[in-house]
Structure 1
Amino acid sequence: MHIKTSLSALAVAALLSVGAAQAADLPYRKDAPAFAPPPPVFSWTGAYVGLNVGGAFKSDNSFGAAGDVSGVVGGGQIGYNYQISPLFVVGLETDFQGTSLRSNSFANANVSLPWFGTVRGRAGFALLDSQLFVYGTGGFAYGELNTPFGNDTRTGWTAGGGVEWAFLPNWSAKVEYLYTDLERNGGGWTVGPQQAKFHTVRAGVNYHFNLF
């Protein structure tokens, strides 16, 4: 009787040993990682406001001056973008600029452009996970040309392009070039420069209200 009991105990111990060895050979199972939702898709859609500063210089023989004409520009802009697909963005922007653009030639002393503004469309491509916006722009321009014979408000057109980088969820920085041509309004004989053609290169920053 004792022998049978001893044999049974040995058999149970052997089975337990085999089971433990097999359990040790099983691969270690880690807990499934917690699900992390993907980050939201970046979009340029929404309204924005911003500030800019840069430089301007004349084109050709405009401002009635044969010499160099250059100055500082600075102002603000407001606009709205709409991202119509992951690649394409369109928008509308208006800006108002103060300038120190001035001619001091002998024939037209103190011809200056104290301010100008534009209303422009923008269209381009969203690259690098939509954070880089490369665009062309163009539209209506207006400004005031001051001469020794009086002040004259001009209208015309502007065109150019730029790049804008969204460096934070609601902030972007841009560099932009514009060519602007303000012609004389109306008809009849008048004195002073007939056109104000100039280039501007400016850097700016925008705050986006609905950027996500």
Structure 2
Amino acid sequence: MKTILLATAFILTPVGMASAADTSEVLPVAATYDWSGAYVGAQAGYAWGNARVGQDFAPGSFDNYGWGYGPSGGFGGLYTGYSKQFDGGLVLGIEGDYSFASVKDTTLYRALGVDDPAFGGELELESVGSVRLRAGYAMDRWLPFVTGGLAVASYKHTTTDIPGGPYADAKDTITGYTLGAGAEYAVTDSWVVRGEYRFADFGRHTSQRHLIVNGAPLNPDEIELTTHDVRIGVAYKF
């Protein structure tokens, strides 16, 4: 009987030692996602804003003579950029985007607080874009971020005789600044989806209208514009 017990103990001892060794081993840490690299993507969104095209023929005329707009509508386009992830999770990058847009509104001309039913206008943002810096904090496959930089918008302002139709317009590209925040999620190692909000302020710029019939210039106006937008995108990371 003693021989059997000793033999059993001798057989089980290595198994016990192996089990003890297994429990003391440190399990490997799962690899975290690396946000470093270049990417290109497509985006779509909805924008709304406040704008004023005011006449500047005399001091104070901008606020008292002109057109007030609340443009809104959709846009879609492309974006591309590069990100670098640092130790500790900080992610810095640069990004540019360009979108075709149909963000517009129509209104009546107003002088000293009174609408003119025979004189209207339409303001449309035809394209929007930006070049920005980005900063985020990597949480494995999640990346919340903030962004800011240069904003660009191309617009068309058309003035209309009612019921005669359009008689003059102005086309120009204006610049300002933009700030925003959002989050990205890496669905795979290469495909990344995002959601984002942005605010843009384009300040005030001179707006030169021309007669449609012969291109003759009219007295210059000024345009003032701010916008908000929400957008979603999907990108391929190289």
| Fold in common (TM above 0.5) | yes
Q: Distance in 1 between matches of 2:45 and 2:30?
A: 36
Matched letter for residue 72 of structure 2 = S
- Which deviates the most, 74-83 or 178-187? 178-187
Shift in Å, 1:206: 1.4
Q: Is 1:50 aligned to residue 34 of structure 2?
A: no
SS in 2 for 1:168: coil
| Structure 2 residue runs without a partner (length 5+) | 54-65, 110-119, 159-168, 209-218
- Which deviates the most, 108-117 or 62-71? 62-71
Query: Identity of paired residues, percent?
Result: 30
- Conservation of the 8 A alpha-carbon contact between 1:136 and 1:162: yes
Greater fraction of residues in strand: 2
Q: TM-score, normalised by structure 2?
A: 0.69
Matched letter for residue 131 of structure 2 = V
Q: Distance in 2 between matches of 1:48 and 1:65?
A: 41
Aligned to 2:126: 114
Q: Is 1:197 aligned to residue 199 of structure 2?
A: no
- Which deviates the most, 100-109 or 71-80? 100-109
| Structure 1 residue runs without a partner (length 5+) | 1-16
Matched letter for residue 48 of structure 1 = Y
SS in 2 for 1:178: strand
Alignment of 1:59-138 (within 5 A): 59=50, 61-62=51-52, 66=68, 68-107=70-109, 109-127=121-139, 130-138=140-148
- Conservation of the 8 A alpha-carbon contact between 1:62 and 1:197: no
TM-align CA RMSD: 2.8
Matched letter for residue 153 of structure 1 = T
Matched letter for residue 179 of structure 1 = F
Matched letter for residue 6 of structure 2 = Q
Q: Distance in 2 between matches of 1:202 and 1:23?
A: 73
Q: Distance in 1 between matches of 2:203 and 2:74?
A: 21
Matched letter for residue 145 of structure 1 = Y
1:65–1:22 distance in 2 versus 1, CA, 3 Å: farther
- Conservation of the 8 A alpha-carbon contact between 2:32 and 2:141: no
- Conservation of the 8 A alpha-carbon contact between 1:54 and 1:73: yes
Larger Rg: 1
Q: TM-score, normalised by structure 1?
A: 0.77
Aligned to 2:170: 150
Q: What is the number of equivalent residue pairs in this alignment?
A: 189
